[in-house]
Structure 1
Amino acid sequence: MSTAVSPLAPNDVPDMPEIAGVRLATAAAGIRYKGRTDVLLAVMDKGTTVGGVFTKSKCPSAPVEWCRAKLKRGGSRGAFARALVVNSGNANAFTGKTGRQSTALTAQIAAKAVGCSVNDIFLASTGVIGEPLDATKFDGVLAEINETAAPGDWMSAARAIMTTDTFPKVATATVKLGKARVTINGMAKGAGMIMPDMATMLSFVFTDAPLSGAVLQSLLRSGVEDTFNAVTIDGDTSTSDTLLAFATGAAAANGAPKITRAGDPRLKAFTKAFNDVLANLSEQVARDGEGARKLVEVVVEGAATKASARKIAMSIANSPLVKTAIAGEDANWGRVVMAVGKAGEPANRDKLSISFNGIRVARSGARDPSYDEAEVSEAMKAPKIQIKVALGLGKGRDRVLTCDLTKEYVAINGDYRS
């Protein structure tokens, strides 16, 4: 975990309200380091529904497989959850049979502590890949913090799941569902090994809205596409990517209607608020990219399709040459042209236009006649850089977030296991 907070960290951290039916606690279990808070326990009331989306990596972690199995077990009626256990410092990935045994033991310890079935326990782990996780370290710890778990301390919870993150990532929204007000709280962690193929490394969303598991699942699947799936730090998809959403249903006591169908028109405002929380968290992940000094927004418009625009935008955002140019405050549009051309999507060199922070540097396949090096160089000093590419082929448009690539990124990842 870095000690220096990213210069891109949000200036304002929201006050995180309590979510009825959710209690939180953290502890230092010595998973990897001594004296560092590295375990989060979230305890939910009976009847809490859960949905989840996970990495598409072909080498998923043991906790990812555990959660998938528990969600599948819920079938069409959806799954229920009583507790979430998250540890940092060890990803429990690429750990074979030992990893599966660790998840089972962790769930057994948590179930005993909370007083529920192991099938109602959800797990997530983040940290070093390939090292066995000693689940016996949870024994006693989970029972102890279950007794002290209380509503409201979201910042401590978000800190407990950090690895190379430099600041805790939280977001909240309040919205009407029917005639009642409901709350959505979220937290996330992620700073490296980030090009999610569903969510981010770890993210958890909680609400008191009375939503079925099927509705949560639908919200997650659609919500991640233009939020977490539109973020990349280094082009690497984690083995551990997990996004879980929990709905306690406590707001039903205040008159919130139970929503069992994703197409329910009463869900419209809630869906927007839910997606806003995901968008906020995913931007914070981009802002905390390892070693990042600049947030980069890549906008591609005029593409043949939205899907084509996404591929081109990702090609630009993942280019080490583009990212190092941004770090050097160099508006090197030649590298953007390269990234567009290599994407394998429809593009016409002679229709291409490129802008940096609203200043057009190239158009119609050549340098813009009004290009002013001094003007562009000054614009590149800003903490947020927008690269806009206009292809001139169609109506496809997309946007992704990334960050620059600095010497600090190399230092962090060169020393990660040391």
Structure 2
Amino acid sequence: MRGLLPQLVMRVLAAGLLTVVVAAGWVLWDTARAARRDAQTTAALVSDAIAARPSFEGLAFGGVAPTPVFRDWQQFPAWSLIAPGICVELGPRDQPIQRRCGPYLAAATPPDWFVWLANRLGLVPEPVAVPVRTRYVSDAYVTAIADPGVIVTRAWARTGDLMRVAVGMAIGGAVLTGLLMIRLLAPFGLLLRGIEHLQRGDFTGRLPRLRVAEFDRLSSAVNDTAAALQEAQAARAELTRRLFSVQENERRALARELHDEFGQCLTATRAMAAAIAQSGESTAQDGARIAEISGQMMDSLRAELARLRPPDLDDLGLRPALERMVANWRARMPSVRFELGLAGPIDAVPDDLALSLYRIAQECVTNAIRHGTPTHIALHIEVGDAITLTAADDGSPRHGGTIDSGYGLLGIRERVDALGGSFVLAPVENGMRAVARLPL
């Protein structure tokens, strides 16, 4: 697909060349019309001149009637009677006895294609015959004939000059138009870059004021759109942060309730079951079974409490919480080699950001195990001017991830967007690689 500027230049050039063709056609038509007019005028003038000056040489030789011989017409000044490029024949139509041609200037010989075109267009007019009106003769005609070589040469001279000038003007006009349009269309580049920034999600840039009114309105519209999207993005990020804050508060409250209520009840139930089991009575076996089930329930409760609110994160900090999470995965899946790398002041990360970072790392590892068959999962976190979290696995490349309701990739992206960061998940050799960058 060609750009606007080349199309505009080509159309201006095509319009100029079309004008050249039309002008050349008009020149050919005017040349043919002038040749016909010259032939008619020449025939009439010569006929009138001969009729006004007959020679009566026949009476001198004893003739019974005067006989005009018209020899003196050759002495007439040709420039005043015969047009350039026109030849005149005198005598009967079928047997002219005398011929005389008008003057013409020598010119360059036209090319063969132009001669062929002139013949096809009928550029050379037909001969014009005018009778000599005198009482002494009844079968004398003046026939004006246009010289094909002269007429075609004249047409080529006029058309050639026109075409050279017109083609030069058309090319020059197209080039000049292109140069002017380059300057005039320069704001298109600014507008396009502004729209591309919007497509990439960058709503901070603003376009300058433009001189052309229409372009300036477009620039203002792009700026207004960017401002509206920036406000919407900020409002969405703030809303997402509040939602996650509410969610974490609810999780903390739920974990506390589960620990205080269910944990105490299960502990009491387990103690009573142990007492029954130690009594030695018939219900001892049932007591042992109750104690076993209560123990399983407490293990499940601890796991869910850790998922709702990791205790190490509140008590010890981010580093021990991440190490505990990886240790739990190693215990649950001994066939998978887990690698944890931490660089920079991990424990200096603010609490809210630390919780989000822990959740993102947790979800990345869970996503790798859930949607692949890895044998090695590497989790690296580096804290510097910004926080970079990288999770890579060898569980075969996957060109897309599962987006669960509130978790999965959607949950990661929502957290990252709310914190003003970026998240990329892409297939790599033998697996997947997720990179999250969060500003401090």
Task: Classify the TM-score, shorter chain.
Answer: under 0.3
Higher strand share: 1
Q: RCO greater where, 1 or 2, for CA within 8 Å and sep 6 or more?
A: 1
TM-score normalised to the size of structure 2? 0.21
TM-score normalised to the size of structure 1? 0.21
Larger Rg: 2
Higher helix share: 2
